[in-house]
Each structure stands twice: as structure tokens, then as C-alpha cells.
Structure 1
Amino acid sequence: MLAKTGLLVVSNPKHINRLLSDVQKSVKSTLYIQLLSALTEPLGNFYSNLFTTPPKFSRTIFNIYSQASRQCNNLDVRVLLSSLKSHVSEIKTINPIDIVIFDKEYSRNDIEKFIKSKVSNISKEHDILTVCCGQNDEIPTENDPRDFQVYKHVCLGGTFDRLHVAHKLLLSDAILRTSEKLTIGVTEENMTHSKLLWELIEDVDTRITKLENFVKDICPELTYNICKISDPYGPAIVDETMSMIVVSEETVRGGEKINEIRKQAGLSELSIVPIPFIDEPNPHIREETKISSSNLRLRLLGTLIKPLENKNIPNKPYIIGLTGGIASGKSGVINHLKDLDVPVIDCDKIGHEMYEKTGPSFAQVVGTFGKQILNPEGEIDRKILGNLVFKKPDELKKLTDILWPAMALKIQEIVKNFNTDVVCLEAAVLCQAGWDKFCHEIWCTFVPEKEAIERLKRRNNLTDVQAKDRLASQPSNKDYISHANVVFCPLWEVEYTRLQVIRAWELLQKRLGQVDC
């Protein structure tokens, strides 16, 4: 059985590649890494701390996180920095340690003494594991030409969505270069709209909570100021106590711009330290070649992003509710589902049947809106009716109060007649109408607003203003996504949408294996 949290005690980080490959077989959630050279006895002979200033560990930390992305990307890897920064000889972690892993053989007595004197948060029933990497080669000294000075107040900023190893590297480097205070600016939603799949970015409070948990776990001795920022600069352009900024290689220009503004305000310029990217080991189609949050968001497409609710409905047929805004690509997803032999209930078609002369809602709709909505043949003209309710919430509610309950009855009647294991119920208003309560899980499609507008203009021959009005009359992408268990973005070629649907279908089959259908 895998341990939830592990502590890897590394005597020589040169072997980190092999160590992480072996260790990930024993730990399932969090892996702390402690460089033994930063601690005092006991554990017999070990390499003394060759680095005279904490920033000189920068390359070592980079190598650890880079290898973590390759060898154990499923783990939350955290390199502990307290002993490097403040010569703290005790290992204090937020999560209790369930297994302690050593990279060389030690006597039982030394191991027990080490755990008792050095590991403060150890589980009562903990395990010990030794992963021998052979003879310890000499640790090379750091010859990196970058600035290794330590500053009292360091700053950095970013979105920090779905905290990953590249974020951890950036934060760790900033911590190594800080003697007292680290300010971290976290972008608010208004600054994220230019990012790929920004609708899937975690809310700012969630991102801040994860950041705070991480930095206080790896080095609680510093003072942290984690603040929300609504512009590209944050407090860096006004705080005279700041003296250095850590940036990624692609945001050096941002640091230079901050210095230009500081200079105009009579403030001293910040030292700028750029941190290199970590290569993405296995970039998939459309992904960047570096570790990034946008890659992680792309990988969410077609996966379960929200836990399923327990609903008191029959397990067979298993109902997928497919929803999404206008021009968001629902038809494409439906076609892929049909290729998988999934029957689809078109709620829009059911709605049209409600309007027919023989339909259950015809008389009530005409009675409510008058004969002005009828065409010469005595049928309801949906275009006339649509104009009567468009941008008129009260009138629209009168119509939906008539249609939606009648449609719900029809939907339930249709579902009962299916003998297949899975059925898709497709409706743009699925959640607003309350039909989601008939569905075991909700799938939704979305594309950027700009793309939806262009699609509407081409498809419906609308003007820019008309398309924007149509889009504004419905819930936002964020609203649709908030109800969804699985999301798709049919923004790119048809094949990429198909891959998302295939992924969702395969994962659904695994879930169905756990359900008595």
C-alpha cells in the first residue's frame, strides 16, 4: 500500500533522477525532499554544505523540480528550504510523514536517532525505506554566473493557476534570495482573460490558499505577503522596501517596465533575476514545450473536473446532460457521441413539438401571448414569439414557465423508452430549466466569446451587434462551466474535439464500471 506522504532524505542530489523514479512507487500524494548536506548530525558521513549563500542552491533546486516533472509528475513534490535558509536543524512539515526514504544505507540506530531528533511531524505508524544509488560521487560546486546576493524584501507575481513544478521553482528561487520578506502578487480574474482556457483558471482565493500552503510548508521562517493584483505591476511600483524581483525568462520585459516606473517615481530599481523554464517532458498536441498552467488546463478537457452528485434516479439508462452556449460546438460533440453509438435526445426539437397545434403547450402559449404570434396557417411563428420575449426577462419567464414543465414530462417519457446503457440529453438551457436533475452527470461545451461571435455572424448571417446581443442574453461560459462535471472546448480542428470526446467516453466507461447499470 502506498504511503500518502513521504520524506526523501538526499545525501547526493546528483542521483535525483533515479531516486524519484524509485520513490514514486512508494508514495501517492506528497513527497518532501530534504537535502542532507544542509543538516547537522546524526547520519554519519555526509557532504558538508559547500554553498556559502542560499541562492547557490538554485541550480540544485532546478534540477530536482525538473526531474520531478519527468519521474513523478503525479506527486506534489516539495523541496524543503528551512535548513538551507536559516540553518534550522529540524524538519517541520504541514503533512505528517508516513514514510522516510534514504538514498544510502545507515545503521538502524542512526536512522532512529535521525527521525527522533530531526523529523517533528512523523506518523505513529511510519515506514522506513532505503533506495541505494551506489557510491556517492562528489557534488559539483555551483558556477552559475547569476546574482547570488540575498535581499531583505523580494517580490514576484503571476497567475499561479494549478500550482505546478515551474511555479515551485520560481517561488523557491525567490525564497532562497530573501532574508526577511517575500511579496507574491496573484492576478485577479480581470487579468486572466487573454490566457488560454481562462475560464478554467481557479478562483483567486483558491490560488492564494495553495500558494500560502506551499511557501509556509517549505520555509515558514520568512514573512509572506500574498496579495491580489489587478494590474501587471502590483505593489512592485510603489513599495520602496523592495529590492529584487524574480521573473520567468519570458517576463523579463515586465520586470524592466516595473523599473522604468519606479525610476520615474524616484524609487530605486529592482535587481531582476530571470528563472529558466522547465521543459515539458511529453507535450501533447497543442501543448507548450515548457511546463505551464495552460497545458494543465488543456488536459482538463474531457476529464472529470467536478465530483458527481448522488442523485435518486435509476442507473439505467445512464444520462449525460450536454449543455453549452450558442455557437459553442455542441453539435460537433453530439456527432462524435453518435459515432460512439450514443443516442441523443434533442431538447430543442422537443420544444418545437410543444408549439405545434397538437402539442401540449399550444393553447396556453397562444392564450398568454395572443394570436399575434400565429402565422396565416394558424401555427405559432417562433420568430415573432422570439422577438416578443428577447431581452424581456418577464415575458421570457412567462414562456418558459409554460414550456419547461411540459418538456420535462416529455423528456422523462422518452428516457424511459431507451434500452441502451447511456443516453445523451442535449439542451442549451439544461441547468436553467432544471433538467439537470434527470442527468447523472453534466457535460458542457465552450469557446471564447470572440470565437462564438464570429461563428454566429457566419452561421446566422448576423451583424456584430446582433451576435453580441444574442450572446449576452445567455449565461456566460463561467456559468455553464460551474455546473459541469466534464467540459469540452471545440475551438480547434474537428480531430482535437474528437480526442476530447474519446477521452471523456473512456473515463465514463471506468465510472460506469463502478455503477450498477
Structure 2
Amino acid sequence: MEQENIIVLEAAKPKMLSKTALLIVSNPNHVGKILPSLTKHVNKTLYIQLLSALSNPFGSFYPNIFDAWPKFTQTISGIYSQTLQYEDLDVRVLLSGLKYKDMEYIKTRQPIDLVAFDKYYPEDDIKNFIKNRIQSITDSYSILTSDTGAFEELIVDPTRDYTVYKHSVLGGTFDRLHVAHKLLLTEAALRVTEKVTVGVTVENMLGSKTLWELIEPIENRIKGVRDFLEDVNPEIIHNIVPISDMYGPAKDDPTMDVIVVSTETERGGYKVNEMRSNCGLQPLEVAIVDLIQEPNPAENEEAKISSSTRRIRTLGKVIQAITPKEHLRKKPYIIGLTGVVRLFCICSGKSGVGRRLSELGAYHIDCDKVAHFVYEPGKPAYDKIVEAFGKGVVAENGEINRKEIGAIVFKDSKQLEKLNSIVWPAIVEEIQERIKKCKAEVVVLEAAVLLGAGWSKYCHEVWTTVIPPDIALHRLQERNKLSAEEAKSRLASQIDNKKYIEAANVVFYSYWGAEITQKQVDKAWELLLKRIKYPNK
């Protein structure tokens, strides 16, 4: 249904952010000129349709100038490259109009809230275009127009092979679908008339990747690939399959013609052909897609666009929805901070994440120190510990010998359970007393046992720090002057990184230098204050 009181917007903003926009592009080389204004109005998905791919959209216009679909690769790569700084926006360049001359409608899987043009057109022409050429349009759509300047001729590399085949194949992790993934998938779609097969790596192949614990479940990654391909080129068959080795179905499928690789994985394409040769199959043509460089990589990020960098950039952000806990008071807002052992909360030198949050304004409760307190003579747990473990755990000065009791419990899970049943309730009681007296807006409850003890129920959010196991072992040995076997024994009683991440709303990674970890913490604090101030946004 066409909106009756449509307004052509040039500088004015729509009343609300649009979830999904469609940008009709006449000048692909100048997409970057309209993005600064356009991204103020859309917060989720931006479809891009090349106007030259449509027959007579506004009377006679720039024709589809390429005689082979893959020749659009360079143009599409240029478009995506202009969107790199807007990584939170899901940009998708539509391919159907480029491939099929008789396409009447622009089809998208998501309804369009905002239609943007990079040229000024008469309002009646715009209305007619939207009514007759866009299939999925909401009733209350908005329009944004802008003039991006004179048309620049599209360029094609004459040295490349632009043959079109029936069936293409490619493989990868496809975690957090980004521009490099989209270019590989786009090349695979432009190369074929019938079918694209995509192999998505299963978890047992991911252990060597940075922050592999943050990689999305394979079901999500497969869905992301399928959604993208069905959006940009629904006319072809999409076969998305899990793979447990580097070859996948490409090693023995006789119907495949071409394998799409990046310059980084080119050697893998030829390895696939070696396997096919062993199976008596024809080798695949190898189509190579150039890598795209990150515009502003941090020192701990890769120079190329990568999923690893995207995972690094989630650190300090909410990665799992925060479920409201009605049994908790709204103030103070309690953050449960945990990690494999307390050392892993390193922020810089002697200070930890908890210490940094204290510096930023939080009231920091270190549960390890609270445990020391309840162990003291005359405090809640003292007599119960002596009764349970004997006077042999009492030092000459009358205090509990924590090293002695640690040697007992870390060798025997039943003894550890016995100690926890005494100490944990006493710690909780002391923590609750301290929180009642606290006047700070935010309380950080730092506890290595937060999850195991079930204390997350006392927290509005859970934040966790993780680190590679080999680094964890080394740091634990250094801090506590333990042998390798003693350190391994202690780590064996801890929850692994994956479990911590699954339970966390916010994650920190303390593998890199102190300054980088502190930046993660500062980012998390800034975002937390916004969530507290604007809880419904």
C-alpha cells in the first residue's frame, strides 16, 4: 500500500530509526558520500540496488554495461569497501537485477522502511518507482534523497577470467558475517547459473582461532550464510553444509565447476584439486577474491577484515541478552565479575578488572578477601572449619592456615564440597550486609566461584574474563609459586572458558597487554552507565 502523505526527505530526519533501508545507487563509486547521512536513519540492514541493473527505471538510464556477471565483482567490492566503517550495519548488495534482465521487482526478505536515492528525482517518479518496482515495502516508509555527483565509469580488470559456471563451492568459518565473507559469497553467486555450495566449519576445527570460544554456534553461522544468499540472489540453489575437514564436499562432488577462495586461502583451493585428482575427478577452476584491509585496526587486531577482529570488538559489549531479575532491587546495580582464577582479572600490573571498575566509580567487593574475613577467629566460618577439618588446619597464631586447607581440598572433591558448604553461606551473608550499607550506584561482586556457587542470582549482570589455558597455567604457576602439576590440579577444578562465556553478558580477554584490557573495561563501564540510565533502549 502506497503512503498517501509521503515526504521526500533531504536534510530532515525520519521520526524514528528505520530497521531496514534500500539504497538505489546510480553512482557506485560514490556510495560513501550518502552513507554518513543515511546511517543516521537506519540501524540494522541496508540493501543496495544498482540502478543500472534495472531496465528503464526512470526512463533511459545507465545500462547494464557488463556482458558477464562476474565482471561486477570489482564494482561490488568497491561498494562494500566504502561501508567498512559502519560495521554494525548489515549491508547487502542485491545481485538478481545484475544477473537477470527480466527482473521486474526488487525483492528483499525484510520489509523496507526507508528508500534512499543518490540522485534527486521528481517526487512523482520516485513514488511510481517505489510502487511498481519494490515488492517488500512497509506502509509507513520514508524517503531520503541526496546528490552524490557526476557518474564515474565502472572499471573491469581485463586480465581476469569471468567465465560463468553451473555450480560453485567455497568454505570457511563464516562467524559474524562480514564484508570479506559477503564478497566471497557474492563471487560464488555471480559465477553460477544454478547452485552454490558453502561448507561451514564445525567446532572441532576452530580451536586455533583467536577467541574461538566466542564463535557463534554452527546453526547460527549456517543460517547467516543462507539468509544472505537468499537475500541477494534467491533464484539459485543454496546448499549450506557443515564440514569437519578443509576439503568438505568439494573433494568428491563431480557436479562442481569452480571453487571460490581468498588470496589467503588460495593454496587450499589447489589442495582440494589434488584430492579430486585422487578421486578421478576434474579439477575445479579457482576463482580468487582479494582480501580487504581493515581501515583502522587496533594493535591486537588483524590487518585484514576478519572474524577474529569482529570477536575482539565484542569484548566489553553485551554479547548475551540481560534478563531482568525481579527479585533484585534496581539499586545498587550489581555486576558479578568472575574468571577461571582471580589472577585472570589482570588489568595492569597489580590491579585487576575489579580494581579498575572501582577506580571508575563502582563499589568493589572482592569475595576472596571476604572469605579471608569469615575465616578469622570469632567470625562465622572459623569454628565450623576447625570442627570439620580438625585443629591441624589452625596455624600457630590461631588463624586458619589457608595453604594447609587448600592442599586438602584441591586433592579431594568431597573435601572441597565440605569446605564450600561452610564458607559460601558465610560469604553471602557478609556480602549482603556490605551491599545494604553501600551508597554507590554500581556494585562489582568479584568471585572466581561466582558460577559454581550459584551467586549469579544475586547479580543483575555477569561479566567474565577468559584467557587461553596455556597462559592461564603459566600465570597461575608464577603467581602462587606452584609446580606445573599443582597448577594443573587447581585449574582442573575450574569451569572452562566456554562455560564462563555461555553464562556471561560481557566478556573480557586478558591475553594482551594491560592497556588493551583496560580499554575493554572502560568500554564496558561506559556502556553499562548508558544501560542503567536508559534501560529501555
Is structure 2 residue 348 aligned with structure 1 residue 328?
no
Corresponding residue to 1:116 among 112, 126, 131: 131
User: What amino acid sits opposite 1:328 in the alignment?
Assistant: F
Root-mean-square deviation (CA), in Å? 2.3
SS class of match (2:84) = helix
Is structure 2 residue 511 aligned with structure 1 residue 498?
no
CA distance in 1, matches of 2:234, 2:211: 33
Q: 1:341: how far off?
A: 4.8
> Please, what TM-score do these two structures have when normalized by structure 2?
0.90
* Alignment correspondent of 2:311: 297
Corresponding residue to 1:48 among 46, 51, 63: 63
Query: Percentage identity across aligned positions?
Result: 51
Corresponding residue to 1:403 among 423, 427, 439: 423
Is structure 2 residue 35 aligned with structure 1 residue 20?
yes
* Alignment correspondent of 1:412: 432
Contact 1:391 1:473 in 2 (8 A): no
The farther-off stretch of 291-300 and 455-464 is: 455-464
Q: 1:440: how far off?
A: 2.4
Contact 1:322 1:425 in 2 (8 A): yes
Q: 1:428: how far off?
A: 0.2
Is structure 2 residue 248 aligned with structure 1 residue 234?
yes
- Runs of 4+ in structure 1 off by over 6 angstroms are none
Q: 1:447: how far off?
A: 0.9
SS class of match (2:517) = helix
Contact 1:332 1:490 in 2 (8 A): no
Contact 2:74 2:155 in 1 (8 A): no
User: What amino acid sits opposite 1:233 in the alignment?
Assistant: Y
The farther-off stretch of 53-62 and 418-427 is: 418-427
* Alignment correspondent of 1:74: 88
SS class of match (1:250) = coil
Paired positions, count: 514
Pair 391,150 (structure 1): closer, same or farther in 2 beyond 3 Å:
farther
Contact 1:42 1:110 in 2 (8 A): no
Q: 1:391: how far off?
A: 5.1
The farther-off stretch of 472-481 and 301-310 is: 301-310
* Alignment correspondent of 1:279: 293
Give structure 2 stretches of 5+ with no counterpart.
1-14
CA distance in 2, matches of 1:162, 1:43: 37
Corresponding residue to 2:179 among 154, 158, 165: 165
SS class of match (1:437) = helix
* Alignment correspondent of 1:95: 110
CA distance in 1, matches of 2:356, 2:76: 45
CA distance in 2, matches of 1:420, 1:366: 36
* Alignment correspondent of 2:5: none
> Please, what TM-score do these two structures have when normalized by structure 1?
0.93
Q: 1:10: how far off?
A: 1.6
* Alignment correspondent of 1:488: 508
Residue-by-residue CA offset, 1:26-53 (whole Å, 9 max, x unaligned)? 3222111111222223421111111111
Q: 1:451: how far off?
A: 0.8
CA distance in 1, matches of 2:94, 2:215: 27
Q: 1:145: how far off?
A: 1.9
* Alignment correspondent of 1:64: 79
Q: 1:371: how far off?
A: 4.8
Is structure 2 residue 220 aligned with structure 1 residue 206?
yes
Contact 1:320 1:422 in 2 (8 A): yes
Residue-by-residue CA offset, 1:313-371 (whole Å, 9 max, x unaligned)? 23333322211012423552233234335442121122233333423223333444445
Counterparts of 1:98-497 in structure 2, within 5 Å, are: 98-137=113-152, 139-311=153-325, 312-326=327-341, 327-330=343-346, 331-371=351-391, 373-374=393-394, 380-390=400-410, 392-497=412-517
Q: 1:515: how far off?
A: 6.4
Contact 2:336 2:459 in 1 (8 A): yes
Residue-by-residue CA offset, 1:169-206 (whole Å, 9 max, x unaligned)? 11111110122111111112221221112222111111
CA distance in 1, matches of 2:133, 2:535: 46
Pair 407,497 (structure 1): closer, same or farther in 2 beyond 3 Å:
same
Pair 479,372 (structure 1): closer, same or farther in 2 beyond 3 Å:
same
SS class of match (2:188) = helix
CA distance in 2, matches of 1:144, 1:505: 52
Pair 162,111 (structure 1): closer, same or farther in 2 beyond 3 Å:
same
User: What amino acid sits opposite 2:18 in the alignment?
Assistant: A
CA distance in 2, matches of 1:310, 1:411: 21
Residue-by-residue CA offset, 1:215-260 (whole Å, 9 max, x unaligned)? 1111111111111122222222222222211111111111122222
CA distance in 2, matches of 1:15, 1:501: 37
Give structure 1 stretches of 5+ with no counterpart.
none
Contact 1:166 1:278 in 2 (8 A): yes
